[in-house]
Chain A
């Protein structure tokens, strides 16, 4: 027990960040499972974070309502972007969400209600480690079950061949939009509980590099099952701390190691690190 409490005193915030990042990785995983690349999930997390933070601070809303409202607003905005963009095939979603991410960041810097470049300061600390991992477990279970459902099979078919999917009766525009909106919703939850973890949120945390980081979690971990993105988030979030332990603390060096890992995975493990562990076979699931 003494060891555990000491561990949490030192690494508690790292454990929390791993959980949040795993949740964010899962938010992108949903969208990727339909073959769609969203570079807006960090911005959706930002929308969730600012919405929930403002509701709690200015309007004294209960925690659960703030979180739900943050996730809901992220989902509604995703729907507004997705409806026109996802009717077209190709990389338009990546381009539109890339631009959208910048719009959100610049809005957060310039608006008064978001606290500008200094960020939103003084958000009550209401998120516990239990909340984070409870939400993460529920989300992972939901997405694992979703895989074997009609929605999951439709998304997989769209990812593999959109034309063939249409010929099988799949309304591809609708299912792509669903995957995108669900991803934004999960990102919104992650952002909202993150806001209540950290006392302060700043616009820069939800920018382009954060969006790419989510993609890297998915590539490094693998997208064959829900465990891959979580594994990727765990390894890449914990790694800097591990390296710090062996006194490799220089920032640029850590980024370099992240890059090397990413390259090695892409070259030698196209299905991600999860392919080391035999993942659950989708067909054997109910």
Chain B
């Protein structure tokens, strides 16, 4: 398993956001997380990305314990993420957002720049080209010089994905990446995620759009009140009685 959750629990005050969650994510696959609102999906992503350490349990990335590492160390292991409530640098342009996202993949060393060495100029040109490539992979290269704050909702989501890709992640955590997008944009994102997985990137994906998840995910984990209901192939999961109960309730109780 590429990523393994072992009895991960996390509470906020008296609220158990996650309770002994265990499942595994296989390398270079798209793994979906579904569940009703408040079932702990975002908390799960926060745990993986190191923004909210678990109270108990273990998180293994390629067999290595990572649940005690701070967020920046986890990012350095190749874990990138987007945010459900979109956290862009809104006073920067799109290109600048991606450049800021190159923290771990570009040198931009100070001394060669102070001395105006040609190597610094060459590196900057190369990093610029990489940043533009990230923008064009999500289809917003024409907006490179636009301020992030001036983008449409769908474009913002796409820019956040581009910024995450600047980290050249091996594990990409996407928290409702297609919320608010038009169908054409959704189709483009679907193709992008597929090509990323084919290139070896593991994707952990939260989304409410069920047809999208059914098409894209090789496996899906269902959360309900912070606990795992089941993990399995999409068809299997949808037929699971407890999943139907979690979403629709049970008659005659």
Chain A residues in the interface with B (C-beta under 8 A): 141-142, 145-146, 148-151, 153-154, 156-157, 160-161, 163-172, 282-283, 286
Contact = CB atoms under 8 A, between A and B. Distances in A.
A149 B109 CA distance: 6
Given A166-B51, A286-B116, A149 B108 contact: yes
Contacts of A156: 89, 92, 96, 100
Contacts of B70: 166, 171
B186 to A, nearest CB: 24
A286 B124 contact: yes
B96 A164 contact: no
Contacts of B120: 286
A168 B92 contact: no
Nearest to B110: A149
A151 B113 CA distance: 12
A146 B92 CA distance: 17
B87 A164 contact: yes
A168 B75 contact: yes
B103 A168 contact: yes
Contacts of B50: 166
Given A151-B110, A161-B89, A168-B103, 17 more contacts: A149-B109, A149-B110, A149-B113, A150-B110, A153-B102, A156-B92, A156-B96, A157-B100, A163-B83, A167-B49, A167-B81, A167-B87, A171-B72, A282-B96, A283-B93, A286-B116, A286-B124
A170 B163 CA distance: 14
B51 A286 contact: no
Nearest to A160: B89
B167 A168 contact: yes
Given A161-B87, A166-B71, A283 B103 contact: no
A171 B102 CA distance: 14
Given A148-B108, A150-B103, A171-B72, A160 B114 contact: no
Contacts of B240: none
Contacts of B106: 150
Contact of A168 (B104, B109, B114, B116): B104
A44 B247 CA distance: 60
Given A283-B99, A286-B121, A286-B124, A169 B75 contact: yes
B88 A164 contact: yes
Contacts of A163: 51, 83, 87
Contacts of A141: 114
By CB atoms of chain B within 10 A, which of A141, A167, A172 has the most? A167
A157 to B, nearest CB: 4
Given A148-B108, A283-B99, A286-B124, A170 B72 contact: yes
B162 interface: no
Interface string B187-228: 000000000000000000000000000000000000000000
22 contacts: A145-B113, A145-B114, A148-B108, A150-B103, A153-B100, A153-B102, A156-B100, A157-B89, A163-B51, A164-B83, A166-B70, A166-B71, A166-B72, A167-B80, A167-B81, A167-B83, A168-B80, A170-B103, A171-B72, A283-B93, A283-B95, A283-B99
A141 B110 CA distance: 12
Interface in B51-105: 51, 70-72, 75-76, 80-81, 83, 87-93, 95-96, 99-104
B110 A145 contact: yes
A165 B103 CA distance: 9
A286 B113 contact: yes
Q: Which of A142, A161, A163, A283 has the most CB of B within 10 A?
A: A283
B152 interface: no
A147 to B, nearest CB: 10
Contacts of A170: 72, 103
Contacts of A149: 108-110, 113
B19 to A, nearest CB: 25
